[in-house]
Every structure is written in structure tokens, then in C-alpha cells.
Structure 1
């Protein structure tokens, strides 16, 4: 920023309107440096107004209003070229009024939370100062000040600059880094104004002081504005990232809720059917009633675990027969034909998760292959066993097979939400267990769960029968 301001100022000094660089005097150089504050303030106002629109902060808004007010002071110079430098007594008092107005803005910003847009506020203050100055110049007997009055006005301007710097430093609604640059910028602005007002710019030394003070003020103000704009962009980016994180979290929670509700509904349907069958079916044998009661107890316990879901247990040894018997009873009482032969196999899995997946596959078969019998069987291959759930329905079209495990995807014409198969695939994948569609099965669809078998020491036949 320092190089940019210095290069711009140098180009202005080297390109005079019809005059070479040698025609410039020290006084003109100091005047040009002080006038350079106007476009610097306007550029800063633009940066700050954009920052306010991106991420509103009270301190940034009031800083934008102050810079807008300073920038509007150059309008009469643009409209009426040839305006005199700061040695003009009227411009000295205009600078004092400008400093007092900025002090007022800072004081209001510290005391009140005003939500007005900074641009119209700054323009309003700036135009009011211009109108007062032009009205004073238009009155008969333009203000003329003697040397003592000019020295007094210069002291007042320097005092206002110091007080304003202290007020800016104490401004809690601005970041510390901004206050560290703005406070000295205000003091340097008043120093440049005092040197010009007292007519000291004819001297090379004082002119250099005025030029350095004015250009340093421009650098500090513009760098602070850009820094605040960058902070606004960064804060807005952080806010967007945080919102995205919250949305992902909400989406995951909603997905978990849908999955849980999906399984709970299936479990409740089985419990309701079994309960109704026990109460109203007189043809049930005592053994059937005992099986239904056992199924109700196991399904009710599983339902409680689903509703009060906690951390999942580690992989354990699961007896497939003990998993399948109550589950098949549940679907049988709902009218589904399921064929299964006990296999006396133990595998590594989570009992509730495997029950949940089998429940989903049986519901899926009932929905897409209604009336078709479902066959569950196993195929051993060394240390693994394939648990197959197959139906004889219409099957899955080949063009849809790559998407059946996608969340939210369902076959055309299906009343499902596309949750079951995706949930089953994800539940097993967390355990390192695969769930695939058997492409060779026909007719109908067959889903294959590949499990690892667990070898256990053999029991004597009498003990095995007793345990069973």
C-alpha cells in the first residue's frame, strides 16, 4: 500500500497540467499531498461499505461513514477547480469542523448501536459541512484571520486530532489492529493540516514533514480499510463454513432419524401382527403361541435398544439360527412366505445390526415381489459364509442395479423412500461386511451377505441337545 500511494503521488507530481516537474514548488507539493487524502478517503469508504455489506460490524460502519464524510469534501474542488490550499483561513476552520464531526461520529458510535447505512450518513455529514463552508464564503466580508487567530486555530486542530486519536484508540467496536493504525493516522492528518494552515510549506523541511504526514495518513487509512474488508470476507467465509457444517450435522441427524424410524416401523408392524394373532387366532397350537411369545419378547427388547440407541457394541459371535428364528416368525405372521433350513453356523457380526439388515431385505422382497416366496440359505466358502436372501419376483432391471444402494434412490413406481437398502449396505460396511446383489440369480432378486465364520469347540451331542 505504501508503494502504491507513493507511486501515485509521484506520478501526479511529475505530470503537471502544462507545467514540467521543475515548475512545482514545495508549497504545491505539500498541497497536492494534502489533497491526496480526498481520493484515499473515498477509496477507503468504498472498501468499508463493501465490508459492511458482507459482514456488518458497528465499528466498521462508523469508520465507513467518517471516510465518506472526508471524501465528500473534495466535491467543491472538483466542481470549481483552483480552490486554494490549507493556508486559506476558511479551509482551516473547515478542517476543524471536519475533525469535530469525526469526533462526534466516534462518540455516537461508542454510545449507540445505530443501524443506519454508513454511506448516506457520511454523505449527509459531508454535505452539511460543505454547505456551511460555502454559505460562510458567500456572505459579505469573507472571514479573514490574523496570524494569532491562525495559530489558535492550528492549535485547536492539533488538539482535536489528539482527542480524536484517543477516542479512536478507545473504540472497542474496532479491532485492535485497526485502532493501532487509525490513531496515529488521525494525529498525522492534523499535523499535515497545521503545517499547511500556518504557511510553513514554503520551507523545504516543513513541506517534507507535511508530505510525509499526509501520505502516511493515506497509507494507514487505506491499509486499515483493506484489512477490515479482508476480515469481513474471512468472517463471512467462516460463517458460511460453520453453516455448512451445521447443515451437514443436521442432515446426518435427520438421516439417522429416518433410518431409526424405518427400522422401528418394521419392528412395530411385526409386533402388532403377532399380538393380534395371539389374541384372535384360536387355531394356534401351544407351541406356536410359545414361539410368538418368544418372538415378541426378542423384538420388544430390540425395539427398546433401537429407541434408546447408544454406542454400538463390538463385533461378536452370532448364532444365525437364533437370529433368523424370531425374525422369520415375525414376517410369517404378517403373511410372508419364508423358507429357511437351520444351518447351525456362528458368524462374526452384531446381532441387532444383522437382524436389522435381514428385516430390510425381507421387507424389500415383500414390497417388490408380493406373493413370491422368499428363500434364505447359506453357502460356505472356506472361512466365509454367504447368507442369501432370494425371491422369485420380477427382479431388478440391469440398468438400475448400480444405484440400488444409493441413499434416497428407489425404483420407478415404488412407494418406498429409497432408505432401506442404502441403510443395510451402510450398516454392514461399518463392520467390514459386504452386501451385494447376485447378478446370476434368476428369476427374481438375490442379496448376498458375506460373513466370516467363527469356529467353536465341538460339544458332546447330549450337551448340544440340552443347550438347544
Structure 2
């Protein structure tokens, strides 16, 4: 950082050969380095806005003031060197007033919050100091003695050291920040002590330049370190909020999925019960089917309400699972073509019932036609397919058919049913996909389940001897 700060001074010395002498370099170094102090004030201002820390706001105002008045001080010294020397007493008075202002700001920082913009406050104060210095150049010289000048130098240096000590004791800000800014203040004060009044020897000019370069480098490094610390902290905060938002969204989706399942189950119970009680002349087998449907859906509703219930895949007779779902939809006046197959699969029965219910509901809402439910074993899998005779899935919707909230322009649904069905299938080792149909119209959605393992007859259960021969003769 020190090399970066010294670069403008080296550049000026290279461009202007007359500035390579130590006297001229002493005059130029303040004009090239105090803008860096102002940059540090800008960085601290950003930190103040990020952290909303009262102490950082006061530090921003103070550093900005030092940078702005330092630029004005150097510019006046270079532009009017003769008047600068003649009115050194008045200029020292302005410096004393500025010193009192800095001490007052440090004291107020420990007790009060800065109510105005810190960067603007420091900038206005720095411009006011420059205007005051220009004003005193028009006044008659005070003619102070060298002893008085030396006393003023020491008094200014002591005042700036006092500011640094008060700064270190400020609350509500990191200790390393206050300590480093205090060190920078002391270094800049030492530079002013060496260079402010009267001509100096080469070693004095060199010491002043080194102190200013080092103090400015410490100040800039502190400001940028503060900025990176706050940026990292805000980044962690944003990531934490993003994670919390994702968890909240997941919880919302889970709750909406549960409500979706509960609503479908309650609707099935209500429809079956209404049909059962409204038509007293139903055939016995139809009445029994409705009663089994109500019992099955009520049991599923109870399991859905019990959050502690965690279902695991098991060997399931798909006919027993699908019959209540088909009966429920038929009770609502929908035409469902389905035949019992005796197929078994390894799955979670409640989830399969919910998936098929979603597929049949989707066909009824979007197709408005009769639907066909088929169960076909394929080796190690069982395919449960729902086919309708509607317009089919639009090409622009098909790629994101199972995404949460995705739906076609003409859809009146929420866009969550197929997403829930797909998730339920994947969770139990299956899949849900959109399959082509052998018709020009319609959509076919296929749920793929792991088939139940085949039961092999144990050797102890196989017929032996005469029994086996008798079986073979009987078969013959």
C-alpha cells in the first residue's frame, strides 16, 4: 500500500524534473498524497453506509476533513509560497481552530450520533478551512518570533496526539480500526510538525515525506480492510438469508403439497359419502366398493395428518390401492376405464394413490374426456399410465411439465400437482414421465414403479417322491 501511495509522488518527480529537489518534493508531496486521504474518507463513508455504525460515521467525517483541508493547505503553499511564509502566524491559528474542531468531533463521537451526512460534513469543513487560510493571507503579518512558531508546532502536534488517544478510547467500533487510524494521525501530525513552518534541512524534508507516505498508506489500508471485512460480513449475511429463504420456500412447498393431498383425500371421502347416502338403491357390490373407498381414504387422511408417520416402500397389491381412487373419481361423474391386473410393486401405497389421483384429476381438468388407467408389468418395473383424449401437452410446457408452479397459458390450476406427483415417485425409487401416445390427440403420463421381488419356492416346500410324481401325473 505504501508503494501505491508513493507512486503519484514518483510520477510527479519524473514528469517535472524541478520537483526532484527535497524542498520542492516537500511542497509537492502533500498535494499528491492528501487526495489519498480523501479516498480513504470515501471508502470509510461506504463502510459507514454498510455498517450504520455511529463511530464509523464520525471517523468518516474526520478523515474527510483532514484530506480536504490537506489538499487546500498544499495548494496554497505551492501557489503562494511567499504569502504563506509571511502569514505563518495566521495560518497557524487556522490550524489550531481545525485542531479544536477535530478534538470536539472525537469527544462528540463517544456520546452522540452524527445526524448529518458524514462525508459531506467533512468535505464542507475542509473547504471552509481552505477558505479561511485564503482569507488570512489578506491580513497583515503578525510577525511572530521563532520561539512562538516552535511553541505552535509543538501545540499542534500535542493536539493531534490527543485526538489519536481519544480516538482509541471510542466505543462501538473495532479496536484495530481505531488504533490504526490513531497511528496514521500521529504520523501525519509528525509530518506537519517537521514541515509546516520555515525551511528545513534535507533530512527534515525526507522525514516529512516518509511520515506522510506511511501515514497515508496506513489510513488507506485501514479503510480498505474495513471495507473488505464489511463486504465479507454482508456476503455471509446475504448467503444466510438466501439459505433461510430456500428453507422457507421448501417449507411452503411442503405445506402446500400436504394441503393438496389433504384436500384431494377429503374430496374423495365427501363424494363417496354423498353418493352412498343420496342413492339408497345402489347395488350391493357398488355400495361395498364405496364403503371400502371411504374407509381407505379415511385411513389415508389419518396418516397424512400424523406428521410422525414415515411411510417406507413395501410390497403392494396395486389393485387394492387403485380401486378407491378410481371409485372416488367415478363418484364425481368421471368416466375411468380400468381393469384389475393383480400386479404388485414395491412402493408407498398412500403416495401411489396420491400420484394416480393427481394424474386422473389432471386429465379431468385439462382434457375433459374419459381417461384410461392401465397397469403393465415390464420386467423389474411396473408402469401405471393415465391416458386422456384431450388436446395434449403444449410443446412449450412439456420441458418444464414437472417443475413447481409451471403451467400452460390456458391452465386454471396452480401448477403444483404434477410437481408433487413427480417428487413422490422419485422419493420411492420410481419415476414419472410424459410418454407419447398412439393417438393423434391426448396425453399419456406414466408412473414407473419398482416391481415387487418374485417369490421363489423354497426347496423344503417343493413336492418330493411320490407326491411330486402324483402332481406330474395329475398335471398330465
1:426 aligned to 2:401?
no
For residue 167 of structure 1, what is the aligned residue in structure 2?
Answer: 166
For residue 58 of structure 2, what is the aligned residue in structure 1?
Answer: 62
1:316 aligned to 2:314?
yes
Deviation at residue 277 of structure 1 after TM alignment: 2.5
2:44 to 26, 29, 48: 48
Write out aligned runs for 1:397-436 (5 A): 400-436=397-433
1:297 to 285, 295, 302: 295
- Is 215-224 or 156-165 further displaced after alignment? 156-165
SS of aligned partner of 1:4: helix
Residues in 2 aligned to 1:77 and 1:188: alpha-carbon distance in whole angstroms: 17
For residue 470 of structure 2, what is the aligned residue in structure 1?
Answer: none
Name structure 2 gaps, 5 residues minimum.
462-476
Alignment root-mean-square deviation, CA: 3.2
Consecutive aligned runs of 4 or more in structure 1 exceeding 6 Å deviation: none
Residues in 2 aligned to 1:119 and 1:273: alpha-carbon distance in whole angstroms: 71
Structure 1 contact 55–232 (Cα < 8 Å) conserved: yes
For residue 328 of structure 1, what is the aligned residue in structure 2?
Answer: 326
Q: Structure 1 residues 351, 223: closer, same or farther in 2, change over 3 A? A: same
Residues in 2 aligned to 1:179 and 1:48: alpha-carbon distance in whole angstroms: 12
Write out aligned runs for 1:319-468 (5 A): 319-372=317-370, 374-396=371-393, 400-442=397-439, 444-455=442-453, 457=455
SS of aligned partner of 1:366: helix
Deviation at residue 122 of structure 1 after TM alignment: 1.0
Structure 1 contact 136–142 (Cα < 8 Å) conserved: no
Q: Structure 1 residues 260, 89: closer, same or farther in 2, change over 3 A? A: same
For residue 38 of structure 1, what is the aligned residue in structure 2?
Answer: 34
For residue 463 of structure 1, what is the aligned residue in structure 2?
Answer: none
Structure 2 contact 51–230 (Cα < 8 Å) conserved: yes
Residues in 2 aligned to 1:307 and 1:379: alpha-carbon distance in whole angstroms: 32
Q: Structure 1 residues 144, 277: closer, same or farther in 2, change over 3 A? A: farther
Q: Structure 1 residues 85, 317: closer, same or farther in 2, change over 3 A? A: farther
SS of aligned partner of 1:202: coil
Q: TM-score, normalised by structure 1?
A: 0.84
Structure 2 contact 87–136 (Cα < 8 Å) conserved: no
Q: For residues 372-404 of structure 1, what are the alpha-carbon distances to aligned partners after superposition, in whole Å with 9 as ceiling and x for unaligned?
A: 1x3323222222222222334444456654443
Q: For residues 166-201 of structure 1, what are the alpha-carbon distances to aligned partners after superposition, in whole Å with 9 as ceiling and x for unaligned?
A: 2222334443443342121111111112222464x6
Structure 2 contact 316–346 (Cα < 8 Å) conserved: yes
- Is 394-403 or 347-356 further displaced after alignment? 394-403
Deviation at residue 34 of structure 1 after TM alignment: 4.0
Q: For residues 298-352 of structure 1, what are the alpha-carbon distances to aligned partners after superposition, in whole Å with 9 as ceiling and x for unaligned?
A: 3233334434545743322222122112222221211122233333333111222
For residue 126 of structure 1, what is the aligned residue in structure 2?
Answer: 126
SS of aligned partner of 1:358: helix
Deviation at residue 52 of structure 1 after TM alignment: 4.1
Q: TM-score, normalised by structure 2?
A: 0.83
Q: For residues 23-77 of structure 1, what are the alpha-carbon distances to aligned partners after superposition, in whole Å with 9 as ceiling and x for unaligned?
A: x3x4443343344443222222233334445554434332221222123323366
Structure 1 contact 378–385 (Cα < 8 Å) conserved: yes
Residues in 2 aligned to 1:233 and 1:86: alpha-carbon distance in whole angstroms: 49
Higher relative contact order (CA 8 A, sep 6+): 1
Q: Structure 1 residues 109, 318: closer, same or farther in 2, change over 3 A? A: farther
In the alignment of these two chains, the number of paired residues is: 453
